[in-house]
Each structure stands twice: as C-alpha cells, then as structure tokens.
C-alpha cells in the first residue's frame, strides 16, 4: 500500500471527510483521484500555466518532486515553471512568491517555508485567482490551497523511533532530535511523531530539539557538541536530508559510529552512500516524485472543474543497508536529476 488519502470531495459534499486507503503498483499517479488523473493524462490541462515553488533549490527531495511534476504537466499539455529560494527561509521565498503573484499563473504548487510567515503572500496569490496546491509543507491557515499533498510526517517520525528500537535501543537509551527550524510543518510533525513514540520505548531525550537551519555543517557541529556533553548518546533522529547528512558526518568524525545510531529522514543519493558505508543506520524515505505528479493532477482538476482531493497523504518507508536493493524499497530513492 503506497498512498493513503483523506478525501474531501468538495464539488459534491463540502465538509464530508472520507478516509480511504488506496493501493497502487507501478505508478503513484495510478492511485490519484479518478477525476484528477483522467483530466491530467488526457491533455486536459492544455495551455494552462503552472508554477512549482519548491522549498529550496538543489535538494534531491525537491528535484524528485520536480521530475514527477514535469511528467504530469507534459501529459496534461500544461507548462511548468520551477523556482525556489537558495535557502529554506521564508524571508527569501516570500519575495519570490510576490513575483509569482505578479506573473499570475493558472496554478501554483508550493512548499511554503513557514507555517505562518508564508501565508500572507499565498493568500494574495489565491485572491487573484491562481489555484494553489500545497506540496510537502503547509501553512496553518486552512483557507490556503485547494489541495494539500504531503507525507504522513507524524507517522514517519514514529517510524524513526521504531527504527532506533529495532537497532537495539531500549528503555533508558539517551536520544537526541535534530531538526531544521521550528515553524516548518513537515519536520515539526516528524519531531512530534518521534517524541510520542520514543516515550513508549522509554527513550530519554537528552535535551530539547536542536536545530540545523537545514545546513549539514551546522548539524555536524550540533551533534558533536551533544556527544561531548553526553558521550553515551545512543541514538539521534535527524529530521531531514541535509540535517541527516551532517549528523552522520559529525558522529563519524567523533568516532562514535559504533555506539551512536543515526536514523535520518529522506533518501538522497549521498544519504544512500552514507547508508552503504554504515555512517547512518536507517533512513525514512518519502515519495517526492508522487507528490509532484499528484500536485499537478490536482491543480489541473481544480482548473478544469473536476473533483479535487483536499488532502492526500503519501507513504514513507524505512530504508536500511539490508533492504535498500529490494526494488520495492529502492524505488523510493531520490533523484539528483530527472534523467536518473
């Protein structure tokens, strides 16, 4: 089962929340809402302009999302323009969103950088008639977006705690969470899920959540300071790609790889190399390609009067050195470009 979705079929039953589980084989798009996928694949988006505003440029998670969005846009006959800030930072993304408002695309797929700070620019864009689909991250204001598509991040955080338990951490084991920044919906939910599940195992958090600002070198410094303070730190949960890469590097540099287990989120090519090398023990991989593909399909559905799915939750899977070559798992590994 790859995609679980919460459906709000707005056209016929506003307010009716339907929980359903769908399974798909080869293509995540196959499990998209029927109206959305048929409108998109039949060229139903011919002539429509779509902008994808990613959370940050050059991140393999968003590269994979772009690849999925490109395929869906091409199938629909729509144009896709991709943009993103150099850092995951609302003060950089918001001016770009203001520029999108001026260009008035038919639809905007966006991964907002902050649950509150991103809301104003998005409301302006929406008020001008652009259909917004939130992909990966959200804003707190529920009025923004016709559809929201993201990993079940809280469940992903729980899986990270489960992975540490599988790696042998038991009651009393000291653990630390290193995230990016507070106010990012995706990673905040992962932290919440992890903390909740870690408590059920009796893990002991050595401090409040620490922050990397989405920078690997900062994550490495944070974990090395934590190891200096708590040399018996048994596990670290790093909530996203660059944080996980930096934590694995920091633990290795401290000579603690044998005793401090690292579980990260995401599955970029460099993370997979770290997994192979034994510098990180498990990764919770998402489905960014599916998020991009379904994002375009929902946008086109909204633009063509088809039923729109208000909330779609995509899957995650725990990748380890042992299972990473299994095709059912390796298909979750992210792309560094759309040709790979």
Applying CB under 6 A, the residues found at the interface with ligand T6T are: 55, 59, 61-62, 136-137, 184, 186-187, 240-242, 265-266, 286
3-state SS, residue 282? strand
Q: Minimum Å distance from CB 258 to ligand T6T?
A: 27
Nearest approach, Cβ of residue 250 and ligand T6T (Å):
17
Please, which residues have CB within 8 angstroms of residue 96's CB and are 6 or more apart in sequence?
53, 83, 84, 85
Per-residue DSSP letters for 71-104? HHHHHHT-EEEEE--SSS-HHHHHHHHHHHHHH-
Nearest distance from C-beta of residue 159 to ligand T6T, angstroms: 14
Alpha-carbon torsion angle 140, 144, 149, 155, nearest 10: 10
Say how far apart CA 160 and CA 265 lie, in whole Å.
8
Strands 309-314 and 235-238, bridge-based pairing: unpaired
Q: How far is the CB of 148 from ligand T6T (least distance, A)?
A: 13
Tell me how far, at minimum, the Cβ of 168 lies from ligand T6T, in Å. Answer: 26
- As a whole number of angstroms, the distance between CA 24 and CA 33 comes to 12
Select 271 or 306, whichever has its Cβ closest to ligand T6T: 271
Which CB sits closer to ligand T6T, 61 or 289?
61
Query: Based on CB atoms, which residue is closest to ligand T6T, 247 or 301?
Result: 247
- Cβ-proximal residues to 175 (8 Å cutoff; 6+ apart), any chain: 164, 169, 198, 203, 204, 205, 206, 233, 234, 235, 236, 237
Cβ–Cβ < 8 Å for 7, 22: no
CB contact at 8 A, 263 and 282: yes
Residue 211 vs 265, nearer CB to ligand T6T: 265
- In the complex with ligand T6T, which residue's Cβ is closer, 137 or 298? 137
Smaller CB distance to ligand T6T: residue 93 or 286?
Answer: 286
106 vs 266, beta carbon nearer ligand T6T = 266
Compute the least distance from the CB of residue 10 to ligand T6T, in Å: 25
CA distances from 285 to 103, 113, 150 (A): 34, 20, 13
Minimum CB–partner distance for residue 288 and ligand T6T (Å): 7
Q: What distance in Å separates the CA atoms of residue 7 and residue 114, rounded to the nearest whole number?
A: 24
């Amino acid at each position: 089962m790859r995609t679980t979705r919460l459906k709000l079929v707005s056209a016929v039953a506003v307010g009716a929340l339907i929980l359903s589980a769908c399974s798909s084989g080869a293509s995540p798009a196959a499990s998209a809402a029927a109206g959305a996928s048929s409108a998109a694949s039949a060229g139903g988006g011919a002539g429509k302009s779509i902008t994808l505003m990613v959370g940050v440029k050059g991140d393999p998670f968003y590269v994979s999302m772009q690849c999925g969005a490109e395929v869906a846009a091409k199938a629909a006959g729509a144009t896709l323009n991709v943009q993103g800030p150099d850092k995951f930072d609302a003060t950089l993304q918001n001016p770009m969103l203001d520029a999108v408002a001026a260009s008035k695309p038919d639809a905007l797929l966006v991964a907002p950088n902050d649950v509150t700070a991103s809301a104003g620019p998005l409301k302006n864009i929406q008020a001008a008639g652009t259909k917004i689909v939130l992909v990966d991250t959200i804003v707190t204001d529920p009025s923004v977006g016709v559809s929201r598509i993201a990993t079940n991040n809280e469940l992903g955080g729980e899986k990270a705690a489960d992975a540490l338990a599988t790696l042998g951490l038991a009651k009393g084991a000291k653990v630390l969470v290193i995230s990016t920044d507070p106010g990012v919906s995706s990673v905040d939910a992962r932290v919440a899920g992890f903390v909740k599940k870690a408590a059920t195992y009796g893990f002991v958090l050595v401090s409040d959540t620490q922050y990397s600002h989405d920078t690997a070198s900062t994550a490495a410094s944070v974990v090395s300071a934590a190891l200096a303070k708590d040399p018996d730190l048994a596990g670290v949960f790093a909530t996203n790609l660059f944080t996980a890469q930096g934590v694995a590097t920091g633990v290795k540099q401290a000579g603690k790889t044998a005793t401090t287990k690292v579980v990260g989120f995401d599955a970029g090519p460099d993370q997979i190399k770290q997994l192979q090398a034994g510098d990180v023990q498990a990764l919770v991989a998402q489905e960014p390609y599916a998020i991009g593909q379904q994002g375009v399909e929902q946008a086109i559905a909204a633009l063509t009067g088809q039923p729109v799915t208000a909330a779609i939750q995509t899957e995650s899977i725990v990748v380890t050195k042992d299972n990473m070559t299994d095709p059912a798992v390796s298909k979750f590994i992210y792309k560094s470009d759309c040709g790979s």
